[in-house]
């Protein structure tokens, strides 16, 4: 057993007082030495946190102790160290940016458990559709899956025409942890697709519970691991080094902060290019120091886990003061 864990989860449930819940949530994480990214929105929760097994267990119990989130599903992975450098608990309009105008609590695609997904993925009448960004599916995807050249879910409407001819098929959407598919599958239903499903718990859960069979490459994740292995049955590498074009499933962020592109780069090219994706980026005056990982943490500015909480309260205080001093219309 490794000394730390990484927890990935989401849950759609109405949250009325997001600011109060955000403060409470933030304090709990600080008290239990948890780091990560958590989004709180009127529609629910979305987060990835990391810490010791004991602290992660306490966090899962804390979230589930709230009746609104008692059925939340956690994807739990082991790791050699805490997978984040900071804690961010933020209030946003959506727990996953989409602008698709759909509500998964009203209608969404049918959930397929990992074992059910495994049974049907080779059915010729089943079409797998990847709802992740281009740089994610270039690193890894299910065999035969349809992918879109999109950078985020907001661009999905621009690509629906690419699968219009498949409306009579059984469409199965998938993503990293399942959250994007809640909205993507709902959007497909709105666009006239009749038989729409989604992999419940996403790629990560499928790998944990079913061994990840038929997932080619690695899965991109949004913490300092960058990419994780999924397939323990028939793994293969589908991505190639951005620089030398040799097979490579090692993902980095370009050392040039102005570029910061996500690309596969092998160890040899990473060292030779000092973590840059091109000679221009290697020569850039603001190139970051490459430590062999290709993962960069922003300047801490004397960061402390309570900093976000204090900043949030300060902003709220400013807003209330502005409201009191605003002239009558």
Q: Would you please indicate which residues are annotated as catalytic (active-site) residues?
A: 175
Question: Considering only CA atoms, which of 129, 244, 72, 108 is closest in space to residue 187?
Answer: 108
Residue 226: count of CB within 10 angstroms of its CB: 19
137, two tokens: 């599916």
Question: Considering only CA atoms, which of 122, 126, 141, 134 is closest in space to residue 231?
Answer: 141
Q: Which residue has the tokens 């709802």?
A: 131
Q: Are 175 and 157 in contact (CB under 8 A)?
A: no
Q: What span, in angstroms and rounded, lies between the C-alpha atoms of 208 and 329?
A: 59
Helix axes 53-64, 18-31, angle to 10 degrees: 160
Give me the sign of the Cα torsion angle 7, 138, 261, 241.
positive
Q: What span, in angstroms and rounded, lies between the C-alpha atoms of 93 and 42?
A: 7
Which DSSP category does 157 fall into? G
Q: Are 75 and 228 in contact (CB under 8 A)?
A: no
Q: What span, in angstroms and rounded, lies between the C-alpha atoms of 174 and 197?
A: 9
CA angle at 223 for the pair 160 and 203, rounded to the nearest 5°: 45
Q: Which residue has the tokens 């927890």?
A: 7
Backbone φ, ψ for residue 250 (5° rounding) = -100, 115
Counting Cβ atoms within 10 Å, is residue 141 exposed (0-12), middle (13-18) or buried (19+)?
buried
């Amino acid at each position: 057993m490794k000394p730390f864990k990484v927890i990935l989860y989401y849950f759609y449930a109405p949250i009325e007082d997001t600011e109060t819940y955000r403060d409470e949530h933030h304090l709990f994480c600080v008290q239990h030495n948890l780091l990560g990214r958590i989004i709180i929105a009127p529609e629910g929760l979305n987060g990835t946190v990391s810490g010791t097994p004991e602290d992660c267990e306490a966090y899962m119990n804390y979230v589930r102790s709230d009746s609104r989130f008692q059925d939340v599903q956690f994807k739990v992975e082991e790791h050699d160290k805490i997978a984040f450098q900071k804690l961010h608990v933020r209030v946003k309009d959506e727990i996953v940016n989409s602008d698709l105008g759909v509500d998964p609590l009203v209608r969404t695609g049918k959930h397929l458990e990992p074992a059910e997904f495994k049974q049907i993925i080779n059915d010729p009448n089943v079409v797998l559709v990847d709802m992740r960004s281009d740089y994610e599916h270039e690193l890894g995807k299910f065999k035969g899956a349809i992918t879109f050249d999109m950078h985020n879910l907001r661009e999905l409407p621009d690509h629906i025409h690419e699968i219009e001819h498949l409306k009579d098929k059984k469409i199965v959407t998938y993503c990293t942890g399942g959250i994007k598919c809640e909205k993507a599958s709902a959007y497909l239903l709105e666009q006239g697709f009749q038989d729409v499903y989604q992999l419940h718990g996403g790629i990560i859960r499928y790998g944990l519970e079913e061994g990840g069979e038929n997932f080619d490459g690695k899965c991109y994740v949004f913490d300092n691991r960058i990419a994780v292995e999924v397939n323990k049955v028939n793994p293969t590498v589908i991505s190639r080094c951005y620089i030398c074009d040799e097979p490579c499933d090692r993902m980095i962020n370009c050392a040039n902060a102005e570029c910061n592109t996500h690309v596969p780069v092998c160890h040899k090219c990473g060292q030779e290019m000092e973590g840059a994706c091109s000679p221009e980026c290697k020569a850039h005056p603001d190139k970051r120091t490459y430590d062999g990982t290709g993962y960069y943490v922003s300047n801490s500015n004397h960061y402390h886990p309570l900093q976000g909480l204090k900043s949030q309260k300060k902003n709220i205080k400013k807003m209330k003061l502005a409201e009191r001093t605003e002239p009558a219309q």
